[in-house]
Amino acid sequence: MAGTRDRILDSGGEFFRRQGYAGTGVKQIVEAASAPFASLYHFFPGGKEQLGAEVIRRSGAMYLQLIDLVFTPAPDVVTAVSNFFNGAAETLRQSDYADACPIATIALEVASTSEPLREATAEVFESWISGAAQHFREAGISTRKARELAIYMIAALEGAFVLSRALRSTEPVKIAGAAATAAVRSALPESGRQRSGLRTGSPARR
């Protein structure tokens, strides 16, 4: 049984992802969370903005776990990237194109309207970039190139989400996935193209 505070955070996360930050009312959030209205301001004295910031960081941390969950067991990074995009496409389809990135809508909304929230989204994106880059480095890619690939992969996914949700088609995600996969493959060191996922000699991750 999740606590009231957690239920509010979960509920907020769902609404913000699907309807955006400005488009979601705090009353709607607490109602769906089966929480008393006053609890919102009890747990989040900073009101909607504090709730938004915590939702962003919480959703961001969960998505980072998902990245690791896909990359770690994969035989190599190329397969991991492919699986990542394929999984995203499947989630998109199953949710009727509602569930894509948990913070992209908020990120665009608040980028020029709320510094605290903008910073929260920036921290999350930075954590994803670091996380993905780490996996690329472990595949033998240079630090600099690994970060570029990570930024590029996340950008391709985010942009594909925008198109796929608007067009109601998984085509953009699939095309972006193919492109990202190809980019990662061509960035692998020669020796790594056959067994890129090998983690011999690497210290514990992160």
Partner DNA sequence: GTCTATACTTTGATAGAC
Partner DNA sequence: GTCTATCAAAGTATAGAC
Which of these ranges, 76-84, 132-140, 152-160, 196-204, lies near a second copy under the rule CB under 8 A?
A: 152-160
Strands (E), the chain: none
Tell me how far, at minimum, the Cβ of 133 lies from a second copy, in Å.
Answer: 12
Compute CA distances 53 → 91, 96, 106, 118, 137, whole Å. Answer: 25, 27, 10, 9, 30
| Contact (CB, 8 A) for 89 and 174 | yes
Q: Which residues contact 166 (CB under 8 A, 6 or more apart)?
A: none
Name the residue nearer to a second copy (CB basis): 19 or 39.
19
Compute CA distances 186 → 14, 52, 145, 192, whole Å. Answer: 37, 39, 11, 10
Residue of 4, 5, 19, 41 interacting with a second copy (CB under 8 A):
19
Using CB under 8 A as the binding rule, whether residue 143 contacts a second copy is answered as no
Q: Give the span between the Cα atoms of 114 and 182, in whole angstroms.
A: 37
Name the residue nearer to DNA (CB basis): 43 or 97.
43
Q: Which of residues 26-85 bind a second copy (CB under 8 A)?
A: none
Compute CA distances 34 → 31, 47, 51, 97, whole Å. Answer: 5, 18, 16, 26
Tell me how far, at minimum, the Cβ of 177 lies from a second copy, in Å.
Answer: 10
Closest listed residue to residue 71, CA positions, set 128, 17, 142: 128
Using CB under 8 A as the binding rule, whether residue 133 contacts a second copy is answered as no
Name the residue nearer to DNA (CB basis): 42 or 199.
42
| Residues at the contact surface with DNA, assessed by CB under 7 A | 4-5, 24-28, 35-39, 41-42, 45, 47-49
Of a second copy, DNA, none, which one does residue 162 interact with (CB within 5 to 8 Å by kind)? a second copy
Tell me how far, at minimum, the Cβ of 2 lies from DNA, in Å.
Answer: 11
Q: Give the span between the Cα atoms of 186 and 48, in whole angstroms.
A: 45
Return the number of other C-beta atoms located less than 10 Å from residue 116's C-beta.
13
Tell me how far, at minimum, the Cβ of 9 lies from a second copy, in Å.
Answer: 20
Tell me how far, at minimum, the Cβ of 132 lies from a second copy, in Å.
Answer: 12
Give contact residues for a second copy (rule: CB under 8 A): 18-23, 96-98, 104-105, 107-109, 111-113, 118, 121-122, 125-126, 148, 151-152, 154-163, 165-168, 171-172, 175-176, 179, 182-183
